[in-house]
Structure formats: C-alpha cells, structure tokens
Structure 1
Amino acid sequence: MTSELMELSRSTSQLIRFLQEELSLSSNSIAMAMRRREQDPGPLPMILWQYGLVTLEQLERIFDWLEG
C-alpha cells in the first residue's frame, strides 16, 4: 500500500470515528454511505447529507472538523 493510500485510509478512519463519537451516527448509516460512495464517488460528508443521514448543522460540523 502506498503512503498516499495509507494516509487516505487513516483520514477516513479518523472521520468515521468522529462521525460515530461526536455525531452518534450508526455503523449501519456509515456503511450505507460508504457503499454509495463506491457506486457514485464523492465526498463522504456530502453523501451522508444527500441521503438524509446527517442534518445541515451536522454537515457544517463535519466540514469544520475536516478543516481543523
């Protein structure tokens, strides 16, 4: 695995941890969004929002966290 892929995996793992711990998203919701992302690639936070798995306020918190 390249260092770029390892970094991507690490950042995705950290994002998933944030979604579960800070926003209380279920593992099922996250897994569904990840499956959708495989079919229609895009930013995970946007997929979560498009499918109604996070509110607009939660989406803003995710983007704030990603910027931090």
Structure 2
Amino acid sequence: MNDLNQKPRLLSFLQEELKIPSASINLALNDPQLSYGSFPMLLWRYGLISLSQLDLIYDWLDEPGHSCNF
C-alpha cells in the first residue's frame, strides 16, 4: 500500500480540492492494473469519481508542472 503521508501533488489535489476520501484513493492505488497515467481512469472505473471530476483531474494534469507519478 502506498503511504498517503508522503503523497504526490495529485493525491493532495484529489483529497483537498475534490474531497475524495483516502480510502477511495487507496482502493485504486492497490489495483494490480495500476500503471503510469491510469490512476484517474481507475478512480472513474470504480465509480469513485464522476465524469466531471475525471475531466477536472485531466485538466489539472494538463497544467505545467503537474504529473501522475507515484
């Protein structure tokens, strides 16, 4: 399991801006199919975020300096 105490900026954005619970984030982080860049899609596929939240995540990732590294 990933340590959310040392979370990348994406995880901070998910928790602080979109108010996604850490339990939901951990569920997707522990998926065996997790690969670079697939994390937002896993959240959506599990039904943990809405399509509009998925759009917000990708908009955020498109901003300079943001990434989906874990």
Name the TM-score class by shorter chain: 0.7 to 0.9
Which of structures 1 and 2 has the larger relative contact order (alpha carbons within 8 angstroms, sep 6+)?
A: 2
Shift of 1:24: 0.1
* Match among 21, 26, 48 for residue 53 of structure 1: 48
Number of residue pairs the alignment of both structures matches? 56
Instruction: Flag the structure with larger Rg.
Output: 1
Per the alignment, in what secondary structure is the counterpart of residue 53 of structure 1?
coil
CA RMSD of aligned residues (A): 1.5
Length-normalised TM-score, structure 2:
0.75
Any gaps of 5 or more consecutive residues in structure 2?
A: 1-5, 64-70
Deviations 1:17-48 (A, max 9, x none): 00000100001000011001xx1134110000
Q: Give the 4+ runs in structure 1 shifted more than 2 A.
A: none
1:64 aligned residue = 59
1:7 aligned residue = none
Any gaps of 5 or more consecutive residues in structure 1?
A: 1-9
Contact preservation (8 Å) 2:28, 2:34: no
Where does 1:1-68 land on structure 2 (aligned, <5 Å)? 13-36=8-31, 39-42=32-35, 43-68=38-63
Length-normalised TM-score, structure 1:
0.77
